[in-house]
A = this chain, B = another copy of it.
Amino acid sequence: MNTPPAIPALSPLAVPVPRPRLSSVDRRRQLLNHAIALFSRHGFSGTRTKDIAAACGVSEAILFRHFATKEDLYHAILDTHEAAAGKEEWLAEMQARAERRDDLGFIRCLLAQLLKSFREDTAFHRLMLYAGLEGHSLPGIFHERTGSRMIEFLRNYIVLRQREGAFRKANPDALIILLASPAMQYATSKYIFGIKAFRGTDKDAADELANLLLAALSPAPKRSKKTSKRKA
């Protein structure tokens, strides 16, 4: 005795809820949004135009009225979509720490923001990964936008602090990799692959890693030999 369908009269087939007729720009925006969600989950070739249209509650014909081809739709996304969440605020915050030479705060802020970006904008990062794997040259675009601006900023600070003697005189590119990688790797595992490599909150992870990274950046204490035990 299973519960029979209670309200057959209200099934989607029976009463096609009168959807509002959206303006061209609104519908386009809606199509893009649902396309982002689906492409980010299934990749380009794993996403069906039918599903995108269905997600918006319209026929496929509508989709192809807005975008000539599936490729066009995909590129419309890749061309315009940036890592959203408060990039400007972030840069400002980093800038503030940089000005007062708060190295630990600087690194912490960097890591926290990377984690936040993956947490809140997972779709974007999945999209970038797919685009990179599928060879849609999008990581290029990413790198030339948010990415490279941040990298530029990072490198400037690193070089500055190296000149001031606060950071170790290593290859700045290596230091950039070192700073950004752990948070990216951790966030990718956690938010994209669903593997937690670390118990505790993102903040815990950021703090823990920031301390370690600062140690890596700090100039080597002067020692005569590897094994010398700093005998005052």
Contacts and interface: CB of A to CB of B under 8 A. Distances in A.
Contacts of A139: 193, 195
B221 A216 contact: no
Chain A residues touching B, majority SS: helix
A2 B209 CA distance: 62
Interface stretch (A30-38, A69-77, A84-92, A176-184): A176-184
A105 interface: no
Contact of A232 (B173, B180, B232): B232
Contact of A215 (B140, B168, B208, B211): B168
Bin the interface of chain A by size: 35 or more
A212 interface: yes
A192 B133 contact: yes
Give the copy number: 2
A208 B134 contact: no
Interface string A191-225: 01101011100000100110111011110110000
Interface string A117-129: 0000000001001
A157 interface: no
A95 interface: no
A185 interface: yes
Contacts of A185: 177, 180-181, 184-185
Contacts of A211: 170
A106 interface: no
Contacts of A170: 208, 211-212
A209 B133 contact: no
A45 interface: yes
Contacts of A115: none
B180 A143 contact: no
B213 A197 contact: no
B46 A134 contact: yes
Interface string A132-143: 111000011001
A42 interface: yes
Please list the 6 inter-chain residue pairs (A to B) with the smallest Cβ-Cβ separation, ordered nearest first: A216-B216, A45-B46, A181-B185, A181-B181, A181-B182, A132-B193
